[in-house]
Amino acid sequence: MTALWLRLASLLAFPFGAALMAIYQRSPLALALLTAAMLAVSLYERRRLASATGTQSLIDGASLLTGFAFRLGLLIAIFVLTVGVLALFRDTSLARELAGTDFILIALPVGIALAANEISARIARREFSAAQTEISAAFARQPEPGATDAGGEIIEGEIIDADEPPQR
């Protein structure tokens, strides 16, 4: 269950970053950089998952542009909604250039997403190997000596010895 919560935290890190950028009234250009970072983390996770499963991850330009546009739309929506709500309560004025604060606000969700994904992958790997060991042990177990080893047949739950004819 912890692995699922970590995956959820990694998914929500970037929308949280977009809301933080709106709260700190940062430049919309920084939002595009946050989107690019979000896409980069997604590609990194996709390649890591592909290498873990032994498959090859094919990435083309059209899927990259589509992914970037979708993510940018999502983050812009969160940014605009947050700025709109904040504009009801205070004066807002967005920054016009990139500054160190922008890079910190970009690095924060990237770090959270990468750390959460790595920890959840380690937990899942450990759980998967434990389950695989249990399954392998269950298949390797020999059946207990008993009625089936007596040389008889089991018909409708009744054990019939090979020496005795079935009674009717």
pLDDT digits (tens, 9 = 90+) for 75-87: 999 999 999 999 9
Query: For residues 65 and 55, what is the distance between their CA atoms, to the nearest angstrom?
Result: 23
What is the per-residue pLDDT across 20-57, written as a single tens digit (0 to 9) for each? 999 999 988 999 999 999 999 998 988 888 887 778 87
Q: Residue 42 is encoded by which pair of tokens?
A: 């997604």
Domain borders along the chain are 2-91+100-140
**What's the rounded mean pLDDT across residues 53-71?**
85
Whether 134 and 124 have beta carbons less than 8 Å apart is answered as: no
Mean pLDDT lowest for which of 7-21, 30-44, 117-131? 117-131
